[in-house]
Amino acid sequence: MIERTFGLIKPDAVAAGHTGAIISRIEKEGFKIVGMKKMTISRPQAEVFYGVHKARPFYEELVTFITSGPVIALALEKDGAIKAWRDLMGATNPAQAAEGTLRKQFAISIGQNATHGSDPAETAPFELVLFFPEIM
Ligand code: IDP
Ligand code: MG
């Protein structure tokens, strides 16, 4: 089933100059980029985006980091896009990420882990509308 998911290239990877390599890999893996924008996420937008993590001990660190510099927001389309994008990113903790995944290659730490991808279930539509209201 063709579906859409939401992705971010996070501030660590943008600052390190990995934008091009990550975009190139996304295209090689057969995703259609239906939306892409470079932006700096505001504190209010980060609080909505990461609202699901509000109770977690690292919430404040998460919001501070995601607003710390420019990101690339992506709307990605593919057959089974939500799982396919999570598979391409790899595990949250780069120490556990498989060879060939983006987080294995580009992440610095569990917090500064290069990319974001919608989790299964309801987060993809919510995140897509939050960042790409004009195309969703
Ligand atoms: P995911 O990004 O693989 O879906 P989530 O569990 O949804 O992982 O966590 C959201 C984000 O919170 C992670 O991508 C990572 O940046 C950060 N994070 C997760 N666990 C930790 C932690 O133990 N310490 C610091 N940051 C964390
Ligand atoms: Mg998540």
Q: Which residues line ligand 1 (CB under 6 A)?
A: 53, 58, 61-62, 92, 110-111, 113, 116, 119
What confidence score (pLDDT) does residue 132 get? 97
- In terms of residue numbers, what domain contains 64? 2-135
Catalytic residue among 116, 127, 128, 132: 116
91-117 pLDDT, tens digit per residue, is 999 999 999 999 999 999 999 999 999
104 CB-side CA count, 13 A:
11
What confidence score (pLDDT) does residue 120 get? 83
CATH number at residue 68: 3.30.70.141
Using 50 as the pLDDT threshold, list the residues of the chain that sit under it. Answer: none
Q: How many domains does the chain have?
A: 1
What confidence score (pLDDT) does residue 122 get? 79
| Cβ atoms of 115 and 10 closer than 8 Å | yes
Active site residue 116: yes
